[in-house]
Amino acid sequence: MTRPVSVGKNLTAGVEAIVYTVPQGYCAVWNLLYAHNATGTNKSLTVDWYDVSADTHVTILDQYSFTSKTYFQFSGNGSGVVMEEGDQVHMTSESGSSFGVVCTFELFKKEGI
């Protein structure tokens, strides 16, 4: 059984946020990210996937610079980042910034694994 899930968050500037955690009993494919810099100046965003089984942060975007009022789209186009239960998406926006983000995941119920 699969089902799509979207989550949205307005990030607190300069603070690492856990945007999503894969629920117990599921795996997920992270296939879409929209990030928008609503700030009036250039600001950066860091995005990473926390792989709980390896206790490792994998960088997706590292202080990626956005010009004022622009957005970024990451789209799996039929693929994406495969995440296991407990894995997380973390994001940190630059101090003084105003970022909104939306992530979409396809959840798969783990059965017999």
The domain tally of the chain equals: 1
What number is the average pLDDT over the span 28-33?
95
- Report whether pLDDT(87) > 80: yes
Number of residues in the chain = 113
Supply the CATH number for residue 70's domain: 2.60.120.1330
- Report whether pLDDT(3) > 60: yes
- Report whether pLDDT(113) > 60: no
Domain hosting 54: range is 2-109
Which two three-digit tokens encode residue 92?
A: 């940190």
Rounded Cα gap, residues 70 and 12, in angstroms: 18
pTM: 0.92
What pLDDT digit, counting tens, does each position of 36-73 carry? Answer: 999 999 999 999 999 999 999 999 999 999 999 998 88
Rounded Cα gap, residues 38 and 27, in angstroms: 32
